[in-house]
């Protein structure tokens, strides 16, 4: 995905407010060997781009003064009740250096798993994203979690996931649980009473 940015000279509350009133969002690019740069991005285009999952989890091409550099979206602040992005942060990436970021999880085949089809279990998602490290070129848009073999009362852990080549999980603990299946209490009690 591509982002077009413009250099900005003025900083501070008043300058940022004037920029937002003109339909632009103040931001900054940092990281790498270059110094941090103050930028402005089209506010409306940024607001709509933030709705796309790929914008959050992909290496972006940021064009600034005719030069393109690769960046990651690191942070953004939204207005409390207006559809307005207040500020955006981008981090430069080097193609030869590993990056540490979060990748979204996509859950598939829950409706055909034995836990749901045969036992009437409910599948709960414990994690929605995963901390990973990889080279920028190997960064996946998302990681698929296949629930087709999930039995009632079982869990899917990080070690059960199939990761793309070059992607490693940054573990917070031993083997984190990604999803669990459990039979609702009412259903279990009704089944016992029927027997």
What DSSP letter does each residue of the chain carry, written as one string? -EEEEEE----SHHHHHHHHHTTEEEEEEE-SSSPPEEEEEEHHHHHHHTTSHHHHSS-EEEEETTEEEEEEEEEEEE-SSSS-EEEEEEEE--TTS-EEEEEEEEEE-STTSHHHHTT--EEEES-SEEEEEE-GGG--SEEEEE-TTPPTT-EEEGGGS-PPTT-EE--SSSS-EEEEEE--HHHHHHHHHH-
| Segment 32-58 mean pLDDT | 91
pLDDT of residue 22: 93
Q: What is the pLDDT of residue 65?
A: 86
> Given pLDDT bands bounded at 50, 70 and 90, which one contains residue 121?
confident
Q: Is the pLDDT of residue 189 over 80?
A: no
Residue 34's pLDDT is 87
Residues 133-144 have a mean pLDDT of 91
Across residues 162-190, what is the average pLDDT?
81
Share of the chain above pLDDT 70, in %: 95
> Which of the four pLDDT bands, split at 50, 70 and 90, describes residue 109?
confident
Q: Is the per-residue pLDDT at 188 higher than 60? A: no
Is the predicted pLDDT of residue 171 greater than 70, yes or no? yes
Q: Across residues 54-81, what is the average pLDDT?
A: 92
pLDDT, tens digit, for every residue of 50-66? Answer: 999 889 888 999 999 88
């Amino acid at each position: 995905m591509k982002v077009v940015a413009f250099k900005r000279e003025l900083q501070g509350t008043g300058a940022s407010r004037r920029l937002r009133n003109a339909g632009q969002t103040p931001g900054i690019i940092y990281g790498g060997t270059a110094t941090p740069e103050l930028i402005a991005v089209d506010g409306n285009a940024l607001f709509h781009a933030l709705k796309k999952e790929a914008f959050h989890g992909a290496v972006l091409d940021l064009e600034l003064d005719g030069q393109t550099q690769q960046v990651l979206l690191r942070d953004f602040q939204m207005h409390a009740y207006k559809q307005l992005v207040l500020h955006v942060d981008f981090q430069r990436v080097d193609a030869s250096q590993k990056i540490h970021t979060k990748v979204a999880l996509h859950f598939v085949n829950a409706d055909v798993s034995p836990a749901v089809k045969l036992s009437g279990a409910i599948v709960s998602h414990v994690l929605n994203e995963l901390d990973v490290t990889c080279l920028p070129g190997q960064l996946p848009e998302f990681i698929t979690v296949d629930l087709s073999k999930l039995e009632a009362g079982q869990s899917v852990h990080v070690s059960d996931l199939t990761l793309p080549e070059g992607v490693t999980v940054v573990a917070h603990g031993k083997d984190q649980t990604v999803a669990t299946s459990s039979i609702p209490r009412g259903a279990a009690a009704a089944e016992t009473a029927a027997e």
